[in-house]
Amino acid sequence: AQKVTQAQTEISVVEKEDVTLDCVYETRDTTYYLFWYKQPPSGELVFLIRRNSFDEQNEISGRYSWNFQKSTSSFNFTITASQVVDSAVYFCALSEAVHNFNKFYFGSGTKLNVKP
């Protein structure tokens, strides 16, 4: 079973539209961490945000916001007023302890196309 599911394979929006990228995770641990990464066409994964399992506060950073809901095991990412530069593949990841090692599980990614 997938530990991290990103059901949206690809999303296309027009510039200035708001867009939400979904992420659903699965874990039995009470302590775990959730991350979002951005992968532009150049290939490098860029870290965007981290959340721990005890902090359900939503976070806003400029045009980006994240909604963490333990009740639904979701950690969704919203981009407000999207821009062409937001076009990339976005990955959600879960980190949990496995035999004294914090293993990362990545979703399959959501490709976001923002058209001018």
Partner 1 sequence: DGGITQSPKYLFRKEGQNVTLSCEQNLNHDAMYWYRQDPGQGLRLIYYSQIVNDFQKGDIAEGYSVSREKKESFPLTVTSAQKNPTAFYLCASSSGQGDQPQHFGDGTRLSIL
Closest CB to partner 1 among residues 82, 91: 91
For the bound state, the minimum distance from the C-beta of residue 26 to partner 1, rounded and expressed in Å, comes to: 14
Q: Does 103 bind partner 1 (CB under 8 A)?
A: yes
Q: Which of 27, 50, 78, 80 binds partner 1 (CB under 8 A)?
A: 50
Alpha-carbon distance of 37 to 17, in angstroms, equals 21
Q: Please state, as a whole number, how many other Cβ atoms lie within 10 Å of the Cβ of residue 21.
A: 22
Alpha-carbon distance of 76 to 4, in angstroms, equals 12
Residue type for position 25: Y
Residues near partner 1 (CB under 8 A) are: 4, 9, 31-33, 35, 37, 42-47, 50, 52, 91, 95-97, 101-104, 106-109
